[in-house]
Amino acid sequence: MTGSTIVNIPELPADEDTTGQESVYARLRHAIMIGTIEPGTNLTMRGLADAMGLSPTPVREAVRRLNSENAIEILPNRRMAIPEMTLGRFEELVALRVTLEVHAAERALPYISDIVIEKLQMLDDRMDEALRDENLDKLTVLNQRFHRMLYCVNPNQVSIPAIESVWLQLGPFQRQVVKRVKEFYKIDRHKEILSALQARDVAALMIATESDIREGISRSGRRVLTDGIG
């Protein structure tokens, strides 16, 4: 067999002067983040290069970056794979995600403006649409955009890279969860987050952020990992 396990890596709008390495990085990152690539998938430099129409050189650089972000695992054989999820790792990832996002939300609040709240409101509306259409990929992207936009109003924000690294590590597994636990996406606490923002209420914002994570991925994911299926 030539190349590796076939993987579905969506294309992405490429800027004019974006380098090959960057486009590979962006495509792979996005694919992993929305869970297009299953845990355990084996990857090869040449396989990815062929799939993207590039030489192994830029692919290698992109893969190395994602390895440093803990999105791609490099085995002792020097082979590459998307890591499998374990219950222990899952609990730690969720706990870290809560800590990081509560922290980021808290430090974003002082910089929040009514304009941003309005934009967040619009994003939330679009999420409701995506939910009706059962467009899960879009829902994931919008959800991440919602959180990212909030944390990024802090002009000196430095926690987004760490947060996105956690998203990357949860992405492939989350797709598995969604397939098994139907009601997963019905739950979000975005309305509560928005209320807390409008009231400029730190405590409420932190509680809402934590609930949004714990009642979403956390509960469903744990069921999949313990019961085998939800």
Judged by CB under 8 A, which of 18, 42, 55, 57 binds its own copies?
57
The answer to whether 163 and 97 are in contact (CB under 8 A) is: yes
Tokens 């998938």 sit on residue: 41
Partner interacting with residue 177 (select from its own copies, DNA, none; CB below 5-8 Å by kind): none
User: Under the criterion CB under 7 A, does residue 78 sit at the interface with DNA?
Assistant: yes
User: Under the criterion CB under 8 A, does residue 140 sit at the interface with its own copies?
Assistant: no
d(CA 26, CA 62): 8
CA angle 152, 136, 53 (to 5 degrees): 80
**CA atoms within 13 A of residue 56's CA, in its CB half-sphere:** 6
Closest CA to 4 of 82, 86, 84: 82
User: Under the criterion CB under 8 A, does residue 60 sit at the interface with its own copies?
Assistant: yes
Judged by CB under 8 A, which of 9, 117, 149, 162 binds its own copies?
162
User: Under the criterion CB under 8 A, does residue 33 sit at the interface with its own copies?
Assistant: no
User: Under the criterion CB under 8 A, does residue 101 sit at the interface with its own copies?
Assistant: no
**C-alpha 192 chain-centroid distance:** 21
d(CA 11, CA 27): 6
User: Under the criterion CB under 7 A, does residue 55 sit at the interface with DNA?
Assistant: yes
User: Under the criterion CB under 8 A, does residue 73 sit at the interface with its own copies?
Assistant: no
* Interacting residues toward its own copies by CB under 8 A: 21, 57, 60-62, 64-70, 86, 88-89, 91-93, 95-96, 99-100, 103, 107, 154-159, 161-162, 165-166, 169
